[in-house]
Each structure stands twice: as C-alpha cells, then as structure tokens.
C-alpha cells in the first residue's frame, strides 16, 4: 500500500489484506522511547485524530485568504523540510534506492497530489464537514477495489458497509442547507476522487521499502512542490491578503497535521493493536465535522449526526477483518 506512511487511511489496507503487521513497521528507526503503555498509545491516538480532524476547518478557513493549491503546497514543502531534518536526527537515511524511485513517484501522486490536492480543492465547493465524511469513505472503496486487483471478493460486511456509507452521504446531501446541487458537484467529485485514488493505492501499489519519516518527507516534497509551483504561476496568490489569523492557521497546518500528528501516529502504532488504532479513521471525520461547526458555523444537527452515524458504521464494517 502506498499510504503516506501511514495515515489512518492505511487501516484500509489491513481491511483488504486481513493483516496489519506492516503498520508497525512505521515505527522502525524512529528511536522513540519504548514505553509500552496503552494509556500513552491512546493519548497519542487522540492527539492524532484531533490534529487531523481540526485540519479540515483550518484548510477551509485558509482558502478565504489564499488559493487552495498554493496554500496546501507551501505548507507541505515546509513540512517536508522539517520532517527530513527530523529523519536525519533520528538516524534515518534520506537516500532513495534507484529501484524505489518509480514507486515513490507513484506514491507521491496518489497520496499527496491526489489525496491532499483533491481534498483541498473539494473545499472550494463543499463545507469542511461534508468533505471530511466523503473523503474518509476510502476504506470502503479499498475493499471493493481489492476484488478486481487482488481477487478478494467483498463479503457481506463490506457490501453492507458500502450501503451504509451511501445512505449516510445521501442523508447528508439530501436536503436543507446541505442539499446537493450542481454547484457542489465539482467538490463531490474531487472528494470522492481523492478517496478512490487513495484506496486504489492501498491495493495496487506495493509498500515503499524506506524508513517512515524518509517516506513522508519525500512524498510531501515530490507532491507538494508541483502544487506550490502551480499556485505561484497560475493561482497567483496575493501575499498581502494573509491575516495574522490566516498565518496562524498556516503555521498550524504545517506543524501539527503534517508533523506532530505523524509522530504521535507512529507512537500509537507501537503501543496499540490495529483494531484500536483504526478508531482514528472513525474519529478524524467526527472531529472535523464538529470542529467545522464550532469554528466556521457549519450546520450540526440531527441530520448531520445521523449521516455521521451511518457513514462511520459503514467505514467500521469495511475495517473489520474479512
């Protein structure tokens, strides 16, 4: 799987393959203190889910001041430099063997340009909570794509999971202020495109044989540099438009979801079983929806809670071991 070593979405790979030992390889070479404490693992998992969840309304807020690909690309390039420095301090080599270069380029496209780029673009048309729920359906798509690519026919749980997700999304966009119209269709397509392409990477691209932080640094650099270049040349950001609040959000996006959360995610994987770690996949969109309601005033009522319940139940079924 080509996950950005490894987001909660990487649990989709475990659902597809019925095993998750590869997840724990993410901690190798980090030289983190080996405090085998479940409580510390749960704390790290909570930090990860909250940090990644809050990033959804943060991105939406920043789009008011800077164009999407420039904002995401610049944050990613800075984060890549910081993570590369951390990797070097942890003793991880930044050298990429020639045999891994092609796979690394494919991974950078799927996990950064498609995943980060498409999700950010979706926020131009969708509310942060809507985008978060749509994008985090990727475990369901992974189990379905495993049929043509790996010959693993989806079971009843996977099909029920898909039905629940469709029901949740249909309810979310079914009426009221959130009703799906032609004006929101591009955002829906970008969000689902990100989820499906990421899911495709989990079943069609073999893992990178690189240290975890090295993998993250290179994927961010290779994926975000083109977004930054496009933003500068085409989107032409107005640098004077950024406010102190916007700069604070930009700093958060660079440091927390792309830096701190990866470290806490790796630490959680060292201490928790895969079934527990998969909770992050369920918590992140919940945090995103709730944070968007608090920070941006997005709707959060009975319809939204019911849609979240159906969608997350579907994701949970997809994450179950076949």
State the pLDDT at residue 58: 95
Helical (H) or strand (E) element with 121: helix 118-122
Q: Which pLDDT does position 28 carry in this prediction? A: 45
Over its length of 322 residues, how does the chain's per-residue pLDDT go in tens digits?
A: 344 544 544 544 444 444 333 333 444 444 444 445 778 888 888 898 899 999 999 999 999 999 999 999 999 999 999 999 998 998 989 999 999 999 899 989 988 899 899 999 999 999 998 899 889 888 888 888 888 887 888 778 878 888 888 888 788 777 655 556 678 889 999 999 999 998 888 777 777 888 888 888 999 999 999 999 999 999 999 988 889 999 999 999 999 998 888 778 877 877 877 667 766 667 888 899 999 999 999 988 888 888 888 888 888 777 665 4
Q: Is residue 163 assigned to a domain? A: yes
- Domains held by the chain: number: 1
- Asked whether residue 29 is assigned to any structural domain, the reply reads no
> Among 279, 272, 136, which Cα is nearest to 198's?
136
| Alpha helix positions (H), 30-116 | 38-62, 68-89, 98-108
Place of tokens 């994926």: 223
Determine contact, residues 119/229, Cβ cutoff 8 Å. no
Residue 150 burial (CB count, 10 A): 12
> Token pair 């405090």 is at which residue?
35
Sign of CA dihedral 108, 109, 115, 118: positive
Q: Is residue 4 part of a domain?
A: no
* 9 assigned to some structural domain: no
Write out the two tokens for 199: 């899911």
In a domain, 108, yes or no: yes
Residue with tokens 């959060």: 300
Domain membership of residue 206 (yes or no) is yes
Q: What range defines the domain where residue 195 resides?
A: 35-319
The whole-number pLDDT of residue 169 equals: 79
In a domain, 306, yes or no: yes
Inter-residue contact 178 to 292 (CB < 8 Å): no
199, burial (CB in 10 Å: exposed 0-12, middle 13-18, buried 19+): buried
Q: H or E segment at 109?
A: none
Residue 320's pLDDT is what? 67
In angstroms, the CA 162 to CA 144 distance is 9
State residue 3's pLDDT score: 47
Contact (Cβ atoms closer than 8 angstroms) between residue 4 and residue 201: no
Residue 36 pLDDT: 57
Assign 5 to helix, strand or coil.
Answer: coil
Q: Residue 320 phi/psi, 5° resolution? A: -65, 145
Quick check: is 308 in a domain?
yes
Give the end-to-end CA distance of the chain in Å, rounded to a whole number. Answer: 18
CA–CA distances in Å: residue 313 to residues 101, 117, 136: 38, 27, 12
The percent helix, strand, coil of the chain (3-state, each to 5) is 75, 0, 25
């Amino acid at each position: 799987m080509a996950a950005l070593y490894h987001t909660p979405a990487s649990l989709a790979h475990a659902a597809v393959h019925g095993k998750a030992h590869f997840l724990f390889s993410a901690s190798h070479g980090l030289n983190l203190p080996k405090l085998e404490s479940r409580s510390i693992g749960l704390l790290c998992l909570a930090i990860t889910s909250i940090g990644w969840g809050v990033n959804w309304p943060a991105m939406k807020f920043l789009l008011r001041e800077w164009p999407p690909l420039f904002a995401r690309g610049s944050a990613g390039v800075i984060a890549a430099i910081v993570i590369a420095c951390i990797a070097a301090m942890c003793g991880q080599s930044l050298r990429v063997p020639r045999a891994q270069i092609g796979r690394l380029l494919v991974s950078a496209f799927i996990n950064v340009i498609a995943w980060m780029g498409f999700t950010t673009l979706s926020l131009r048309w969708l509310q942060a909570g809507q985008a978060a729920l749509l994008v985090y359906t990727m475990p369901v798509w992974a189990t379905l794509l495993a049929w043509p690519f790996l010959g693993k026919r989806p079971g009843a749980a996977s099909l029920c999971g898909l039905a629940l997700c469709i029901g949740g999304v249909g309810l979310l966009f079914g009426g009221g202020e959130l009703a799906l119209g032609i004006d929101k269709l591009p955002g829906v397509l970008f969000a689902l495109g990100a989820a499906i392409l990421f899911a495709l990477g989990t079943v069609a691209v073999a893992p990178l044989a690189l240290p975890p932080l090295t993998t993250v640094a290179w994927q961010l650099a290779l994926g975000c540099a083109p977004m930054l270049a496009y933003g500068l040349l085409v989107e032409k950001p107005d640098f004077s438009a950024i406010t102190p609040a916007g700069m604070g959000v930009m700093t958060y996006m660079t440091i927390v979801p792309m830096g701190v959360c990866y470290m806490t995610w790796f630490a959680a994987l060292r201490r928790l079983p895969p079934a527990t770690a998969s909770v992050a996949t369920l918590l992140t969109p919940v945090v995103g929806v709730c944070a968007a309601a608090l920070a941006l005033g997005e709707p959060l009522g009975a319809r939204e809670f019911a849609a979240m319940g159906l969608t997350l139940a579907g994701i949970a079924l997809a994450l179950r071991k076949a």
